[in-house]
A and B are shown apart, each in its own frame.
Chain A
Amino acid sequence: MMARMNVAPAASPVLDAEHAAFILLPGISMTAASPGSGNLPRIGRALGCRVSAQRGRITVLFAGGQCPELIEALRASRAIAVVFSQPSTHRTIQVKGADAALEPLAPGDPALAQRWIDGFVAELAALGYAEPLVRAFLWCDPAELVAVGFTPCAAFQQTPGPRAGLPLGS
């Protein structure tokens, strides 16, 4: 909680309104990474996110039991990278933070995760993926949901093509 108080919402957030709206669209795929001990990368799929009113903070939901090494790495290093991608358009951005911290779940978080799963199922169904398959690999016990918040400190284009890797807004 100390860390969160230290990071005042940036005057001009890394994420503009359009990008914030993009990562909140239904059907956006999310995967996160963090450095574990020995600088070993840890990885895990996220199940939806929230963005604070001034876009100063992103909160990402995980099925904690499915990615314990990632959660441990986030807790220990506080460094996070999240890739957001829309399967139907390949539009992709990556957002990074250096102050990641576990947060208490908000009351609406389990419902948020469920809405996110439904949105992703619909997105992939339109691309021809069978619903039972998508539901199975997104499956999560609501009791194991974990929320991780961070202040975006850098964000990059990652849509395949010549602009991939450039900072957002450049």
Chain B
Amino acid sequence: MSISVDAIRDCLEGALPATIATCARDGTPNVSYVSQVNYVDSAHVALTFQFFNKTRENVLVNPRAAVLVIHPQTAARYRLQLEYLRTETEGPLFESMKAKLAGIASHTGMTGVFRLRGADVYRVLDIAQIPGQQLPSPTPRRNLLASLRACTQVFTRGVDLETLLEDLLAALAEHLGVSHAMVLMLDGPGRRLFTVASRGYPQSGVGSEIALGCGVIGVAAEQRTPIRVSHMTAEYSYGRAIRESTERSALGARLETAIPLPGLADSRSQLAAPIVAGGTLLGVLYVESPQDLRFSYDDEDALVAVAAQLGSAIRALQEVDSAPEPAAVPAPQPAPAGGTPVVVRHYALDDSVFIGDDYLIKGVAGAILRKLLADYLRDGRTEFTNRELRLDRRIRLPDLADNLEARLVLLQRRLAERSRALRLEKSGRGRIRLCVERPVQLVETPR
């Protein structure tokens, strides 16, 4: 094959519509528009199957197709010869094309008309450039490989998870020009994601939640595949995602929206990459922009590479954590100053915790805080190891890939944002310290 599909990926962003020619068995030709020619790998593309039309009828009996695409910057034109292989109606490729199509539909006024029935996968037999005029390639904003290399330096520093996430989001801004980003981690039972770090929003949104399968972030997590949408689309908007999230779980509805998800109201480009390590989904790295077509296939590759490294780094931090340093000399705890006690309420039903009347957190992070406070009130303990948190039956960590470090970061950040009386700090490798500035009263509501 003369030209590889990756070399012309920019033509597959859908900025200019592609056309497809097929032939019936009797040789009757057919030509039509195709909403999306999606890059699969260097030898395959996938086309949207939306309507039971002649194109579809033809490729099922005569699996050959010819497609015309145009480069959105240089106007270079390419003719692709394709061979139809199969149709996928679920799974990562289908979901990523469905999300992309929703963006295209909304951008072209076709919301409600465009509906993905399947992702038709084709082998690319040949790519030929059509002779003609071409505009010079615009100078790229940056060299993405160099930017990627710069970003990955944060993984060599050997810092704790909170610092790592902060440094990583700063590096994405500095080297990739991504000003709005967040990291979400999977929660205990594995059906929810919670924000542990963000950058570029008026409120950090740490602790906010989103259900698997909802919006760009939720679908990326559920399918473990990057999801990239290049135009504003209501179908994958936060509002919609949060609403659906709430509908799916009426019980926790009030709490799920208690912390608003950060995020741009007018997001026009969204890209979510799953964070996976050791075959386990850990969370999602998400970036967005108020600009249409901001993220390209190359940006997607860069973010996926960063997310893969982040997954390994989180996993490595967890292992370090499981083998704590010998007990540090406990820091002398000043006796809590007097004053009105701070009332902390814990509800066993969902491990939600309120400080005074304000919602703090729920789930595993809520259970951790309850354990720390209960032990503190009973024994006056303020030093804890990650290992004991893992073994504590009251916390009910789901399994080995427990994301404990991420939950501690979440709890630490939420306390820092919401409480002056309680604070959590690291007191060494695999160790945390509870700092209490006022008398505490723990009110427990059993199931």
Interface residues of A (CB under 8 A from B): 31-35, 39-45, 63, 65-67, 77, 79-83, 85, 87, 90, 92, 94, 96, 129, 132-137, 139-140, 156, 158, 160-161, 164-165
Interface size on B, residues (CB 8 A): 44
Check A40/B66 contact, CB under 8 A, given A66-B130, A136-B75, A137-B77. yes
Whether, in the assembled complex, B297 has its beta carbon less than 8 Å from a beta carbon of chain A, the answer is no
How distant is the Cα of A39 from the Cα of B23 in the complex, in angstroms? 7
Cβ–Cβ contact A136 & B113, under 8 A = no
How distant is the Cα of A45 from the Cα of B110 in the complex, in angstroms? 24
Cβ–Cβ contact B131 & A66, under 8 A = yes
> Which residues of B in the span 105-157 have a Cβ within 8 Å of any Cβ on A?
108-110, 113-114, 130-135
One of B28-36, B91-99, B163-171 contacting the partner:
B28-36
How distant is the Cα of A32 from the Cα of B29 in the complex, in angstroms? 9
Whether, in the assembled complex, B371 has its beta carbon less than 8 Å from a beta carbon of chain A, the answer is no
Check A41/B32 contact, CB under 8 A, given A66-B131, A136-B132, A136-B135. no
The residue on B at minimum CB distance from A100 is B29
Besides A81-B21, A140-B132, 17 more A-B contacts (Cβ < 8 Å) are: A32-B31, A33-B31, A40-B64, A41-B23, A42-B21, A43-B68, A81-B30, A90-B108, A94-B30, A94-B31, A96-B29, A129-B16, A133-B73, A136-B74, A136-B133, A137-B16, A160-B113
List of B residues within 8 angstroms of A35 by Cβ = 23, 27-29
B 7-38 binary contact with A (CB < 8 Å = 1; else 0): 00000000011011111010111111100000
Q: How many residue pairs bridge A and B at CB < 8 Å? A: 119
Whether, in the assembled complex, B53 has its beta carbon less than 8 Å from a beta carbon of chain A, the answer is yes
How distant is the Cα of A87 from the Cα of B107 in the complex, in angstroms? 13
Whether, in the assembled complex, B51 has its beta carbon less than 8 Å from a beta carbon of chain A, the answer is yes
The residue on B at minimum CB distance from A89 is B109
The residue on B at minimum CB distance from A83 is B31
Shortest CB–CB separation between residue A23 and chain B, in angstroms? 14
Cβ–Cβ contact A42 & B68, under 8 A = no
Cβ–Cβ contact A42 & B31, under 8 A = no
Whether, in the assembled complex, B294 has its beta carbon less than 8 Å from a beta carbon of chain A, the answer is no
The residue on B at minimum CB distance from A124 is B16
List of B residues within 8 angstroms of A81 by Cβ = 21, 28-31
Shortest CB–CB separation between residue B64 and chain A, in angstroms? 5
Check A161/B113 contact, CB under 8 A, given A81-B21, A85-B33, A139-B133. yes
List of B residues within 8 angstroms of A156 by Cβ = 54
List of B residues within 8 angstroms of A77 by Cβ = 27
Q: Pick the contact of A41 from B64, B72, B132 — CB < 8 Å?
A: B64
14 A–B pairs (Cβ distance < 8 Å), ordered by A: A31-B31, A32-B31, A40-B23, A40-B64, A41-B23, A41-B64, A43-B31, A81-B31, A87-B17, A92-B32, A137-B75, A139-B132, A156-B54, A158-B32
Cβ–Cβ contact B31 & A82, under 8 A = yes
Whether, in the assembled complex, B47 has its beta carbon less than 8 Å from a beta carbon of chain A, the answer is no
Cβ–Cβ contact A165 & B28, under 8 A = no
Whether, in the assembled complex, B81 has its beta carbon less than 8 Å from a beta carbon of chain A, the answer is yes
List of A residues within 8 angstroms of B53 by Cβ = 164-165
Cβ–Cβ contact B29 & A80, under 8 A = yes
Whether, in the assembled complex, B309 has its beta carbon less than 8 Å from a beta carbon of chain A, the answer is no
The residue on B at minimum CB distance from A159 is B113
Cβ–Cβ contact A66 & B23, under 8 A = no
Cβ–Cβ contact B19 & A43, under 8 A = yes
Interface residues of B (CB under 8 A from A): 16-17, 19-23, 25, 27-33, 50-51, 53-54, 62, 64-68, 70, 72-75, 77, 79, 81, 108-110, 113-114, 130-135
List of A residues within 8 angstroms of B30 by Cβ = 33, 81, 94
Sorted nearest first, the 9 A-B pairs with minimum C-beta distance are A33-B21, A136-B75, A33-B31, A139-B133, A43-B21, A41-B21, A137-B75, A33-B29, A43-B66
How distant is the Cα of A133 from the Cα of B135 in the complex, in angstroms? 7
Cβ–Cβ contact B54 & A66, under 8 A = no
Check A133/B19 contact, CB under 8 A, given A31-B31, A39-B64. no
The residue on B at minimum CB distance from A136 is B75
List of A residues within 8 angstroms of B132 by Cβ = 63, 66, 136-137, 139-140
List of B residues within 8 angstroms of A32 by Cβ = 31
How distant is the Cα of A63 from the Cα of B132 in the complex, in angstroms? 10
List of B residues within 8 angstroms of A63 by Cβ = 132
How distant is the Cα of A134 from the Cα of B29 in the complex, in angstroms? 27
Shortest CB–CB separation between residue B154 and chain A, in angstroms? 38
Shortest CB–CB separation between residue B191 and chain A, in angstroms? 36
How distant is the Cα of A96 from the Cα of B21 in the complex, in angstroms? 13
How distant is the Cα of A156 from the Cα of B28 in the complex, in angstroms? 14
List of B residues within 8 angstroms of A165 by Cβ = 51, 53-54
List of A residues within 8 angstroms of B28 by Cβ = 35, 79, 81, 96
Shortest CB–CB separation between residue A60 and chain B, in angstroms? 12
Cβ–Cβ contact A79 & B29, under 8 A = yes
List of A residues within 8 angstroms of B77 by Cβ = 45, 66, 137
